[in-house]
Chain A
Amino acid sequence: MTVDTLHLLVRQPIKLLGLAGCAFLAACGPIISFGDDGPADQIFGLEHAAAPSALGDMGTIIYVEEPLMSDGLGGNQISVALADNQRTSLQGVRWSANSTDLIRDYLVRGVANAAGVRLLGEGAIDVQAGCRMGVKVWAFEFVPGDTADDDRVDVEIEFVLVRYYDNRLIGQPTFTASPAVSEPGGRGITAAFDTAMGSVSSQAGAWLREYAGECAL
């Protein structure tokens, strides 16, 4: 590079910045995805079918914390449990949001309807509640079988109910559900997840109904 060239670059900073920008974009090529030629991913949500309960007991409010997920279960990917404890994710199918948010929203609506109490999740952190309910997700995964008829999903969720004013542990049950996948493909798998979450919510709601009095305000 000659002295004249340097003088030219110093005098024309816009051109210099342009060159630097082009070099940066070239370096970030692997980060920025420009798409490929394959088919687009299928995106599914996890939503409780029933309408939100309007008759929940206002004197019993429980705050549902963000679920704690085991490694590999979080994120938008649908976790797949293979043999020998091998884990991977499902190709071409993913959740519409982070799975922790989906599970939390589902439980807030499903358990509240089953228990007849008012559960609050994200967005209600400043509401006075009688108890908090911790959620630990031990299993939330698709388990392929030898054939498509043997496919199923596993959901195992532990609930920790703690009363606020004395930090007393009221209960710590774990509920599981393993429904079969009714039809092959992403739609069938996510429908099985819906079924599993509905079963777990019903079990948790029945349990919570018994202890809801401990959380009265």
Chain B
Amino acid sequence: METRASYMLVGGFVLTFLVGLVAFAIWIAKVDLDAEYTDYDIYFEGTVSGLLKRSIVYYQGIPVGDVRDIQLAPDDPSKVLVWIRLKAEVPVNQESVAKLEFQGLTGVAYIELYGGTHSDAPPLKVPPGQERAVIKSEASPLLAIFESAPNLVNEAILVVSQVQKLLSDKNIQSVSGAIQNTERLTGNLAKGTDDLDVIMADVKEILAQAKIASAQINTLIENGNSLLEDDAKLLMEETTKTMQTATALLERVDNMVAANEGAVTQFVNTSLPEVSRMILDLRLTARNLSRLMSRIEQNPAEIIFGTKEAEYDLKSRKTVEDDN
């Protein structure tokens, strides 16, 4: 017997089932068909290790988007370009800053957005030649720590090495020796207490003598003061009188010089050169007298009777004896 099926009913059932299946899938996938999104670019300096596609983007701790793509910046390989997609209602403007953060020490990275709460800040605009607006980025402190961690470990290893050197057997022996010496010193000090008593007694005696000397110095100073007050006054008076007398004498000399300035000037200008010339003439005269005296000493008769010398005769052109 042939079954008579209702094709319309079957087809309707199947369609209803398929629509229900799609609705169920959409419900399961939590697809928000009404949601609107905005894409942004973020340029990070250096590594973004731990950040993956689909990593969450938080705004004040609330997941507001995800990472769509990660690649090197086209014009600067030292930077990383991260493409994120945020819900349209997320307040992003020119004050917004993106940081790469990490969840604990596991190394799972995510992007946290800060700022943008001031509504009067200008909104972000798509730069010319780019597809998306760019959010500023800052380096994460944790990232700096992670980056410097290897160096810290190396430094720690170096410190441990130095400590090991410091605590070598030789140094430990030296420290032990120093401690032993200290103990010996303190022991000696304890034993030398008697000597310290003697020293203190001597110091007391010295201080007593210093006290006596101080009293004597005070007496000397008092005597000096009385000397200055009494005898010095007389001395100062005598000195003042002497100075006054000297001043008067100088004034008289000054007046005398002023009164005779013309005569003095004339003497300096005329008489002194004359004296100078006279001295020259006297030198010449003295020289001649000296020469005369020498001749008299050598041959007195020559002065009185003259010398017998030959003279030159122009006619005969020869010397002839003087007959006189």
Taking beta carbons and an 8 Å cutoff, which residues of A are in contact with B?
Answer: 30-31, 33, 36, 63, 65-66, 68, 80, 82, 88-93, 125-126, 128-129, 132, 142, 144, 148, 164, 184-186
Taking a contact as CB atoms under 8 Å apart, the answer to whether A88 and B312 are in contact is yes
In the bound complex, CA of A90 to CA of B311 (Å): 6
User: How many residues of chain B have a CB within 8 Å of chain A?
Assistant: 24
Q: Is B284 part of the contact surface with A, judged by Cβ < 8 Å?
A: yes
In the bound complex, CA of A89 to CA of B324 (Å): 15
Taking a contact as CB atoms under 8 Å apart, the answer to whether B270 and A88 are in contact is no
Would you mind naming 18 contact pairs between A and B with Cβ atoms under 8 Å apart? Answer: A30-B305, A31-B305, A33-B324, A36-B323, A66-B281, A82-B319, A88-B310, A88-B311, A88-B312, A89-B311, A90-B314, A91-B312, A125-B274, A125-B278, A132-B280, A148-B317, A164-B276, A184-B314
Using Cβ atoms and an 8 Å threshold, which residues of chain B touch A36? 323-324
In the bound complex, CA of A93 to CA of B313 (Å): 10
Taking beta carbons and an 8 Å cutoff, which residues of B are in contact with A?
Answer: 269-270, 273-274, 276-278, 280-281, 284, 304-306, 309-314, 317, 319-320, 323-324
> Considering only CB atoms, which chain A residue lies closest to B271 in the complex?
A126
Using Cβ atoms and an 8 Å threshold, which residues of chain B touch A93? 314
Min C-beta distance of B253 to chain A, whole Å: 26
Min C-beta distance of A185 to chain B, whole Å: 6
Taking a contact as CB atoms under 8 Å apart, the answer to whether B273 and A128 are in contact is yes
Taking a contact as CB atoms under 8 Å apart, the answer to whether A89 and B284 are in contact is no
In the bound complex, CA of A148 to CA of B320 (Å): 18
Q: Which of B274, B305, B312 has the most CB of A within 10 A?
A: B312
Taking a contact as CB atoms under 8 Å apart, the answer to whether B305 and A65 are in contact is no
Using Cβ atoms and an 8 Å threshold, which residues of chain B touch A91? 311-314, 320
In the bound complex, CA of A88 to CA of B274 (Å): 37
> Considering only CB atoms, which chain B residue lies closest to A66 in the complex?
B284
Using Cβ atoms and an 8 Å threshold, which residues of chain B touch A132? 277, 280
> Considering only CB atoms, which chain A residue lies closest to B320 in the complex?
A91
Taking a contact as CB atoms under 8 Å apart, the answer to whether B312 and A89 are in contact is yes
In the bound complex, CA of A2 to CA of B190 (Å): 137
Using Cβ atoms and an 8 Å threshold, which residues of chain A touch B284? 66, 68
In the bound complex, CA of A92 to CA of B317 (Å): 13
